[in-house]
Structure 1
Amino acid sequence: MHEGLRERKKRETRQRISDIATGLFIARGFDNVTVAEIAQAADVSVNTVFNYFGTKEDLFADRQELAVDLPQRVLRERAPGEGVVRAFRRDYLDAIDTRDWRYGLNEGSDVFTGVVNASPALVARLREIAVAREEGLARALAGELGAGPGDLTPGIAAAQILATTRILSDHALARMLAGEPWERIAPSLREQAERAFDLLESGLGDYGARPAADDG
């Protein structure tokens, strides 16, 4: 559908405010920047800022709706005959290769993470987004597979898949924050991801089983 002039101007204004706010947050820290300062830098009123963003946290997490929908998109776009775990494996490995932002592997994500970690408000907001991602994927799985209201399987599957991607990305981000170059991170991250998704596809089974007792 063709975007009208009014819609385009609103979109551009929203993006400008978001970009200016992000720059200020990165430079000075989220908790040290006020909405009034953002409005002044963007040459708009405080009311205009809140017309586009409900809270200050929304200014930083401006792609949260897209982030919440991304797991459901992976589900929707999987190939015929492709299982859910296999689809997420493919998507995550692609994100490693392309350094796409959707799993936090993009260049500059260590800076983003540093800003988040320094602000309890942002830590709380990112947790809310993670919960929303998981709940959204669980609902989408339940709807597509016709699961009954008492069937916990979609929720368990969603939790396991997204916990796997989160742990992998957190590991990569910790190494990035420590100053390790991506060229060293990527190969081992890919290896860890392959192993993790193998476990998801095959089940934990005997993983962690104690060795048999030695009768000798």
Structure 2
Amino acid sequence: MPARRPASADESSVRAPGLRERKKQQTASRIWHAAVDLFVERGYDKVSVAEIAAAADVSKMTVFNYFGTKDDVLLAPMEEHVSDAADAIRARASGESAADALRRRLLDLIEARDPSVGLGDSPRTLQVLRLITETPVLLHRAHAFHHRSQQLLATALAEETGDAVLAEVAAAQLIGVRNAVFAEVHRRRMAGTPLDEVAATADALARDAFDLVEKGLSGYAVKA
């Protein structure tokens, strides 16, 4: 399973996992890897949870205990990031705008070639992108993930500003930037574009798109 962003030194000293937690992480990772291998080999719809369990050398009940459903097995790493945008807003420094905070967060992920934005250099990153794109149930879940991210961001903005309606408008635009960058990354990676070229394009697109949001749309697409 793709690793999450490494914690800082202070975070690591406080939250270093114990033996039991490490074993749980290892089991979850083994199930995830086994599932991806089977899905790639035979297709998502032709693989059962029982077969995933057998490949991971665990019981079927263990798979359900860790993931709940078959699609959860594949999409668990994505679900870990559902609150990233809202968390970035809540953690931003005094005087930093919402757009600046999310731009900084996205540019950092792009620079780090983070798997959460589709830029991991592991072959599994591309395999998972292809599986999601080509499997309707997984694509639907991915869309639902983006919607929940937007809702969580809107909630965070509303808590701070006291205006739920404008918070929804702002969240839609800010998440729209992120989604557009993700979609372009995925499109180019699926087309076989070299990773460094994809990352450079994503960086430029993110900067331009956030500039557009910050300036507003008053001068955008004015009909001649």
User: Which residue, 104, 117, 122 being the options, matches 1:90?
Assistant: 104
| Cα deviations by residue, 1:73-121 (Å, 9 ceiling, x for unpaired) | 2112222211000111111122221111232232343322211122111
* Structure 1 residue 29 displacement after superposition: 2.2
| Cα deviations by residue, 1:27-81 (Å, 9 ceiling, x for unpaired) | 3322221111111111222112111111001100112442211111211222221
* Structure 1 residue 14 displacement after superposition: 2.3
> One-letter code of the match for 2:187?
A
User: Which residue, 121, 124, 127 being the options, matches 1:111?
Assistant: 127
The residue that corresponds to 1:81 in the other structure is 95
**Distance in 2 between residues matched to 1:100 and 1:130, nearest whole Å:** 17
Residues 14, 52 of structure 1: 8 Å contact kept: yes
The residue that corresponds to 2:5 in the other structure is none
Residues 141, 154 of structure 1: 8 Å contact kept: yes
> One-letter code of the match for 2:213?
L
Alpha-carbon spacing, 1:142–1:16, altered in 2? closer, same or farther (3 Å): same
Residues 117, 185 of structure 2: 8 Å contact kept: no
DSSP-derived class of the 1:140 partner: helix
* Structure 1 residue 182 displacement after superposition: 2.2
DSSP-derived class of the 2:76 partner: coil
Alpha-carbon spacing, 1:33–1:78, altered in 2? closer, same or farther (3 Å): same
Which shows bigger deviation, 80-89 or 28-37? 28-37
**Structure 1: stretches of 5+ with no match in the other structure:** 212-216
Say whether 1:179 aligns with 2:192.
yes
DSSP-derived class of the 1:67 partner: coil
Say whether 1:166 aligns with 2:183.
no
Say whether 1:197 aligns with 2:213.
no
Residues 146, 179 of structure 2: 8 Å contact kept: no
* Structure 1 residue 13 displacement after superposition: 2.0
Aligned residues: 208
The residue that corresponds to 2:32 in the other structure is 18
The residue that corresponds to 1:38 in the other structure is 52
Say whether 1:28 aligns with 2:38.
no
**Distance in 2 between residues matched to 1:38 and 1:24, nearest whole Å:** 7
DSSP-derived class of the 2:129 partner: helix
Residues 103, 165 of structure 1: 8 Å contact kept: no
User: Which residue, 127, 138, 145 being the options, matches 2:161?
Assistant: 145
* Structure 1 residue 136 displacement after superposition: 1.0
> One-letter code of the match for 1:184?
E
**Distance in 1 between residues matched to 2:40 and 2:161, nearest whole Å:** 43
Q: Identity rate of aligned residues, in percent?
A: 39
> One-letter code of the match for 2:171?
A
* Structure 1 residue 16 displacement after superposition: 1.9
Alpha-carbon spacing, 1:3–1:190, altered in 2? closer, same or farther (3 Å): closer
TM-score, normalised with respect to structure 1? 0.87
> One-letter code of the match for 1:53?
F
> One-letter code of the match for 2:175?
L
**Distance in 1 between residues matched to 2:210 and 2:16, nearest whole Å:** 41
**Structure 2: stretches of 5+ with no match in the other structure:** 1-14
The residue that corresponds to 2:137 in the other structure is 121
